[in-house]
Structure 1
């Protein structure tokens, strides 16, 4: 199969996938008037709560409290993330009476966890501009487990981005770390993911240590590919109904120039299905800044974002740098509109289309960029 034919095949496959109706509600019989509806749907998307064999609640359209308690009871026996555990605990307190009748001790929500949990994802990307196009593939496998009640491990192995017309990056070890609680802090030591805000400053991995307490996270480590020592902090809170994150990062370069970033980002709902988001970041030494703001129609998965990133505020380890249509003039800065559509084809499959209309800070128009992503979790 020649390259042109392969590109057409991949594009056609993505187009067909996009045509599949979105799987919006895994529990089609759950009443949206129930206070726990949003929590149930979110946990279902993450595979924590399961319905019956046909992914529905049978019987009355409004799920009974006992049926809800049965689902929560099963969720309590799973290996949960911190956010998932908080959601399940909130549901458990609401349905405590029903859970007690099922033999669940709500006073002690700590569930027996499996030693090792295996998960992963597979991704295909297609990107094109006015002059060329590109397709690549990636598969990752993640192992999460516990050594003891207070010592857990995480390892993620990745194929790297494999392009059909370029050499493979080879198998890489994305993450390998241990996490434990000490002195009231949740600590992670080793190679780990590091994202600040929406990823404008950094959305990458580092090897080091991070500690969290409440909404505060501090970190120190090394970004090997950029040969930089990183340290900083992020604080997340809710303010007047909006989610707010404050970010700081210092990058001490072993070669080249050091950088120091300050940032803030927020998101908040305007109506039930419409939300706004905004982000500001500044590189202290150059004085250059990055601004982004936009609107999202949550139910439709549509968003429009304006970005204005000056050269000194652009990083080689931010979200934009790792896009299949990465901006070729990061060193010159860029500005313009990004339009995105995200649709869940089912509870484990996400399809994304992006269109970017950028120019550099000098006003020179860049090629229009279109990309499509299909990501499947397992």
Structure 2
């Protein structure tokens, strides 16, 4: 390997010297100004990539070692504003001389950057729930659940504007802990979508998280697209297919998703939504409208008093005010104009602080009153109150150690319709990474 022919010219491409005429004093006495490699060698010397020898010579015909070449590559890597083609060449060089660069204590930044294009986040968590409902005899039926869940949420960079995101869940029910039958699986791809950001405009395509009213109404995914634009005042549009009977705890929706034999019916709803949200300083205000169409609405008990409807037309409003950095009051309300019964849902919540994943010892607490009509709150995200109930809910969370958070919630209220008692105890420990 000759320094002039291979090292200097190859590295010169990296620093952009091939088309530059260097007008400074000749750096090496054995490379005259009329030499074919003069411009490249002079530019490299000016940029500190090459130093020559102490006697003022470049000695271009001398064979160099891999260690010497690695030194030049390391210095070239330190340059800024390198073109795209030269970056690709530098990546190849840094990969070739990775061992030597490591011995020099050099971080191969471009290789690390490429590795960072795919990031993995996730959590492992244990959840315990004890749900109790009063029956016709006046006693309470209890349903206890113990669940382990492992979740991965990878994000891959496509270019400066686009990322691809996903959510993969694997879970097991400790209550039964029975072996799965052949073909069954507790592992599922819950979400996968492309996410594009152009200034204050965001575009999502695929199976993506709900963009509007995900707490009160839709703790779920939509298969389709969304567009959100704006800064303090943000406009959001979303459209696609929504699986009404996915993982909801709404008994009315679940029953409508079964045929006469009790088999699941894959009958998704077409969905279009629009929302406006304003947020600045201590105040946040918003409103949204959702139009859904599905035959499931025709089969939901008590949805209509007369002629059946296959539509849900829901409008909602929300507000939140932070009194200071610790205390905030929030409220949200929604109503389904196409339903005759259990068509209203709302929540008022007072929050104090909140556990921070990265800060051990941080904690928070809240108190809330919730009313969740099952014909509008199709899949609310509250872990205490559930669809078809109303009452009080309190909760607290605490960071036990860095990225380890414990949560405890308690709901006490009644079922809508018959007024029977309903309560729920919820506990969870999350290990986040």
TM-score tier by shorter-chain length is 0.5 to 0.7
Equivalence for 1:353: 408
Contact 1:335 1:359 survives alignment (8 Å): yes
Tell me the C-alpha RMSD between the 2 structures.
2.6
Matched, 1:199 2:215: yes
Equivalence for 1:68: none
Matches within 5 A, 1:13-52: none
Matches within 5 A, 1:221-300: 221-224=240-243, 226=245, 227-238=268-279, 241-256=282-297, 257-286=310-339, 288-298=343-353, 300=363
**Quick one: structure 1 residues 134 and 146, their matched pair in 2 at CA, closer, same or farther if it must change by over 3 Å?**
same
Equivalence for 1:133: 144
**Quick one: structure 1 residues 275 and 198, their matched pair in 2 at CA, closer, same or farther if it must change by over 3 Å?**
farther
Contact 2:224 2:239 survives alignment (8 Å): yes
Query: Following the alignment from structure 1 to structure 2, what is the Cα–Cα distance between the partners of residues 243 and 326?
Result: 24
Query: Following the alignment from structure 1 to structure 2, what is the Cα–Cα distance between the partners of residues 189 and 153?
Result: 9
**Quick one: structure 1 residues 225 and 313, their matched pair in 2 at CA, closer, same or farther if it must change by over 3 Å?**
closer
Structure 2: where are the runs of 5+ without partners? 1-112, 133-141, 246-267, 298-309, 355-362
Contact 1:195 1:204 survives alignment (8 Å): no
Q: CA deviation at 1:376?
A: 1.7
The structure with more radius of gyration:
2
Matches within 5 A, 1:48-197: 114-130=116-132, 131-160=142-171, 162-165=173-176, 170-181=186-197, 185-197=201-213
TM-score normalized by the length of structure 1: 0.62
Structure 1: where are the runs of 5+ without partners? 1-111
Q: CA deviation at 1:139?
A: 0.7
Query: Following the alignment from structure 1 to structure 2, what is the Cα–Cα distance between the partners of residues 237 and 228?
Result: 28
**Quick one: structure 1 residues 296 and 206, their matched pair in 2 at CA, closer, same or farther if it must change by over 3 Å?**
same
Q: CA deviation at 1:272?
A: 4.2
Show CA shifts across 1:48-89 (max 9, x none): xxxxxxxxxxxxxxxxxxxxxxxxxxxxxxxxxxxxxxxxxx
Q: CA deviation at 1:247?
A: 2.0
Equivalence for 1:301: 364
Query: Following the alignment from structure 2 to structure 1, what is the Cα–Cα distance between the partners of residues 162 and 431?
Result: 29
Q: CA deviation at 1:351?
A: 1.2
Query: Following the alignment from structure 1 to structure 2, what is the Cα–Cα distance between the partners of residues 346 and 216?
Result: 38
Query: Following the alignment from structure 1 to structure 2, what is the Cα–Cα distance between the partners of residues 243 and 161?
Result: 38
Q: CA deviation at 1:341?
A: 0.7
Query: Following the alignment from structure 1 to structure 2, what is the Cα–Cα distance between the partners of residues 183 and 125?
Result: 39
Contact 1:201 1:261 survives alignment (8 Å): no
Q: CA deviation at 1:262?
A: 1.0
**Quick one: structure 1 residues 305 and 161, their matched pair in 2 at CA, closer, same or farther if it must change by over 3 Å?**
farther
Query: Following the alignment from structure 2 to structure 1, what is the Cα–Cα distance between the partners of residues 154 and 125?
Result: 18
Query: Following the alignment from structure 2 to structure 1, what is the Cα–Cα distance between the partners of residues 173 and 144?
Result: 15
Contact 1:195 1:203 survives alignment (8 Å): no
TM-score normalized by the length of structure 2: 0.55
Query: Following the alignment from structure 1 to structure 2, what is the Cα–Cα distance between the partners of residues 145 and 337?
Result: 41
Q: CA deviation at 1:136?
A: 0.5
Contact 1:259 1:283 survives alignment (8 Å): yes
Matched, 1:219 2:260: no
Contact 2:161 2:198 survives alignment (8 Å): no
| Residues matched between the structures, number | 259
Larger RCO (CA under 8 A, 6+ residues apart): 1
Show CA shifts across 1:113-140 (max 9, x none): 7211111111210011452421011111
